[in-house]
Structure 1
């Protein structure tokens, strides 16, 4: 049985879309769900999120709308984006990071278009999941989220969603087919072409 760590943040529409495709992975793959703070990864790797670059922001939402259409996934974005995902991440951890909780929280944002800052909607969700605000502030919950971020960095995760299997990262929704091929044992991953891609020397670097 393959072990797969799936790193995600509820702020990410690409994470939502891939979450809706995880059921297509081989049945013998065990998925370990790893909620992480995307902003922490961006800060560590000195990177910007797609919503922070104006033309890329527009393209991202257009692309996600197309991908949802392509895969037949219902998608209704929230009233604004980005937003603070910490309450959702902590709630997910407090409730045990089960697949059911992960999907429910993703759909809360990206299927129902709701945010944790919308008090009435948020309180309704907490009641539905039998959760309390105090659960989100538990020290062990906060520590688990920090630990997940540290594990992600060690694994080389720089964005979400990322699947890590056999110490190999598959980043983004667009890598889903590549991940599937790897899990099926596609011989390409032992080919000279793939090995050359791993060892391409670095050329010039732009000034910062």
Structure 2
């Protein structure tokens, strides 16, 4: 059975869409998924990037794009009242619901992502809403405790060590696939598409010379 690592942060609408579409995109394939919430802001800081919502024209495009994708794929989506929102409490909640030595299951991740993106336009980080979600999920450990916080830190550090730079990222057999639009590529890899084993993957990812901006 193929194992997939699904790295995500609830703040990302593309992560939500990828989560919803994953079963359909991989229908007929044998796989298991390890859902790994992380801190997207830590990835941005590590690589010296701004988030899409921090660049106004990119923010406009992002939400037009994700709503078009959602309408095309018939996936329910409502933009939260505040975005970007602080997703730490939701990611810690996911890890607090996971068994020791395991990752959060799909039901937990579904509840958390839908809380953010099917909330009728409410604030995903609203303390009362988060508290109500916590009561429904009934985590075995305190989401605000050190154990849950450490598991989120560990997940983020592991993602950075693996080369994850954005969300969602899917990891398959040492290969990383970034973004909602990479789902078809993941399916091809799992089906044994020779492109992934015939040298193309390695060749096209190899370093090569190029012009660098001043100061970079």
- TM category (shorter chain) comes to over 0.9
Is the CA contact (8 Å cut-off) linking 2:14 and 2:180 kept in structure 1? yes
* Partners of 1:115 and 1:122 within 8 A in 2: no
Q: Secondary structure at the match of 1:206?
A: coil
Give the whole-Å Cα distance in 2 for the aligned partners of 1:18 and 1:63. 14
CA contact (8 A) 1:108 1:114 kept: no
**TM-score, reference length from structure 1:** 0.93
SS, match of residue 21 in structure 1: helix
CA distance in 2, matches of 1:23, 1:91: 23
Unaligned runs of 5+ in 1: none
Q: Retained in 2: the 8 A contact 1:37–1:149?
A: yes
Query: 1:87·1:116 contact (CA, 8 Å) conserved in 2?
Result: no
How far did residue 29 of structure 1 move? 0.8
Runs of 4+ in 1 over 6 A off after TM superposition: none
Change in 2 beyond 3 A, CA 1:114/1:108:
farther
Q: 1:114 to 1:125 in 2, by over 3 A?
A: farther
Question: Distance in 2 between the 1:15 and 1:189 partners?
Answer: 24
Q: How far apart are 1:206 and its partner, in Å?
A: 0.4
Per the alignment, residue 122 of structure 1 pairs with 130
Q: Does 1:16 align with 2:26?
A: no
Q: Which residue of 2 aligns with 1:138?
A: 145
Question: Out of 70, 73, 83, which is 1:81 matched to?
Answer: 83
CA-based RMSD of the aligned residues comes to: 1.7
1:66 partnered with 2:65: no
**Aligned-pair CA distance for 1:42:** 0.6
Query: Contact 1:2–1:30 at 8 Å: present in 2 too?
Result: yes
Question: 1:122-151, CA deviations, whole angstroms, 9 ceiling, x for partnerless residues?
Answer: 33222222359x811221111111110111
Q: Where in structure 2 are the equivalents of 1:1-208 lying within 5 Å?
A: 1-24=1-24, 25=26, 26-96=28-98, 97-112=104-119, 113-131=121-139, 135-199=142-206, 201-208=208-215
> What count of residue pairs does the alignment treat as equivalent?
207
Q: Does the residue aligned with 1:170 lie in a helix, a strand or coil?
A: strand
Q: Which moved more, 1:115-124 or 1:184-193?
A: 115-124
Gapped regions of structure 2 (runs ≥ 5): 99-103
What is the CA-CA distance between 1:119 and the residue it aligns to? 3.3
